[in-house]
């Protein structure tokens, strides 16, 4: 695989943009837009009944929503583009409408002055990762060299965000499809540097700690061994296994897990990166082949928190879709949304068989 070259620049409002190129020699083009400085207003409030952090970001309600292709902010060099250069391989920039931002002002520690309603400034960082300058492409159809470049960009950004003050966890993800709620069609993903450990990861930490106390073993290793011996493996390699989990929540859901314990993308070896590029692209192609059309999905990389539980939470991908049939969507209604009690209409064994047979 080609060596990736990193080039840093600034957009006209001061936000950072980083290019990851498969060939060296980029001289960044200056951003001609003359944008005003970003003034984010991000805060987190703690739900006193569940302990969950809820982020409040009024400025995001005005973000760009499904613009026409000629006004796409992720296409290179256009009049509305966030990327001034006329071409790029992979580009990463600070989100113009962030959920978390270190520049957000201080807030009072209590909502309405009530001690039961804890509040904090939403410091952190949110970045957009553009996988290609081709507006009509998809991640599943990128060449392996580009998928490998995307993985290197994810890894580099994970390392950089993890080192920033106040970042508790780094989340790499891709939303794809209007059914999921995307606001831009151009192939891209995002990275969040959270100022707190997310509720899902807190639950994983708790379950992994309980398992270790009860058995002395690693929970993720036990899950992987059981899945590899069962009927839900979709594809396995030397370093990774893709499987539909026994307790899958979604009608289409597949996890991709490394065979050894690593807390995050940064801890992977070059060989693990290489195989990951092959298996990740393969999974996306299988998903698109399920119904003969691009599948709406979320591809979510679970990484251990920056400062705790790094021996408990293993890096893994959870890829899932709301589509439960070619012409049907699974909506999160009363049981899921109201009580967080999941009901799946597709048996995981059937889902795994469909993915094995696809593509």
pLDDT of residue 78: 77
**If you write DSSP's letter for every residue of 99-166 in order, what string do you get?**
SS-TTSPP--SBGGG-TTSBEEE--SEEEEEE--S-TT--GGGS-HHHHHHHHHHHHHHHHHHHTSTT
> What is the H or E stretch that residue 355 is in?
helix 348-357
- Per-residue burial over 264-299, b if 16 or more Cβ lie within 10 Å, else e, is bbbbbeeebbbbbbebbbbbbebbbbbbeeebbbbb
Helix (H, G, I), strand (E, B) or coil at 308: coil
Give the structural domain span for 154.
5-196
pLDDT of residue 1: 43
pTM for the full predicted model: 0.96
Q: Please say if 302 is a catalytic residue.
A: no
Q: In angstroms, rounded to a whole number, what is the distance separating the alpha carbons of residues 1 and 152? A: 11
CATH number at residue 96: 3.30.428.10
pLDDT tens track, the chain, 359 positions: 457 999 999 999 999 999 999 999 999 999 999 999 988 999 999 999 999 999 999 888 878 888 998 899 999 997 789 999 999 999 999 999 999 999 999 999 999 999 999 999 999 999 999 999 999 999 999 999 999 999 999 999 999 999 999 999 999 999 999 999 999 999 999 999 999 999 999 999 999 999 999 999 999 999 999 999 999 999 999 999 999 999 999 999 999 999 999 999 999 999 999 999 999 999 999 999 999 999 999 999 999 999 999 999 999 999 999 999 999 999 999 999 999 999 999 999 999 999 999 97
Is residue 341 located within the same domain as residue 214?
yes
Selection from 224, 244, 202, 274 nearest residue 352 by Cα:
244
> What is the H or E stretch that residue 350 is in?
helix 348-357
**If you write DSSP's letter for every residue of 54-79 in order, what string do you get?**
EEE-GGGGGS--S--GGG-TTSTT-T
Where among 196, 214, 249 does a domain terminate? Answer: 196
Is residue 169 located within the same domain as residue 123?
yes
Is residue 30 located within the same domain as residue 101?
yes
Q: Which of 53, 185, 186, 188 is catalytic?
A: 188
């Amino acid at each position: 695989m080609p060596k990736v070259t990193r080039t840093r620049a600034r957009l006209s409002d001061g936000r950072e943009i980083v290019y990851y190129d498969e060939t060296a020699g980029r001289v960044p083009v200056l951003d001609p837009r003359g944008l005003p400085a970003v003034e984010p207003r991000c805060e987190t409030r703690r739900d006193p009944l569940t302990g969950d952090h809820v982020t409040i970001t009024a400025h995001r309600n005005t973000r760009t929503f499904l613009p026409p292709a000629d006004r796409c902010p992720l296409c290179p060099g256009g009049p509305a583009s966030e990327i001034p250069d006329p071409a790029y391989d992979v580009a990463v920039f600070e989100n113009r409408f962030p959920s978390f931002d270190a520049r957000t002002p201080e807030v009072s520690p209590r909502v309405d002055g009530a001690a039961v309603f804890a509040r904090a400034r939403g410091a952190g960082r949110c970045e957009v990762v553009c996988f290609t300058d081709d507006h009509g492409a998809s991640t599943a159809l990128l060449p392996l060299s580009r998928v490998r470049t995307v993985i290197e960009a994810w890894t580099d950004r994970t390392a950089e965000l993890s080192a920033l003050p106040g970042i508790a966890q780094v989340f790499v993800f891709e939303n794809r499809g209007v059914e999921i709620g995307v606001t831009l069609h151009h192939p891209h993903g995002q990275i969040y540097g959270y100022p707190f450990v997310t509720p899902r990861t807190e639950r994983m930490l708790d379950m992994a700690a309980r398992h270790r106390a009860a058995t002395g073993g690693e929970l993720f290793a036990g899950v992987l061994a059981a899945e590899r011996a069962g009927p839900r493996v979709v594809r396995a390699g030397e370093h990774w296994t893709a499987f539909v989990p026994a307790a899958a929540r979604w009608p289409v859901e597949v996890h991709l897990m490394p065979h050894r314990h690593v807390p995050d993308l940064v801890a992977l070896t070059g060989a693990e990166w290489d195989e990951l590029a092959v298996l990740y692209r393969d999974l996306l192609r299988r998903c698109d082949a399920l119904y003969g059309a691009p599948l709406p999905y979320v591809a979510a990389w679970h990484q251990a928190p920056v400062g705790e539980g790094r021996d408990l939470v293993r890096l893994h991908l959870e890829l899932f879709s709301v589509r439960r049939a070619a012409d049907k969507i699974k909506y999160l209604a009363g049981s899921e949304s109201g009580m967080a009690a999941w009901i799946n209409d597709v048996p995981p064994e059937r889902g795994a068989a469909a993915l094995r047979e696809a593509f």
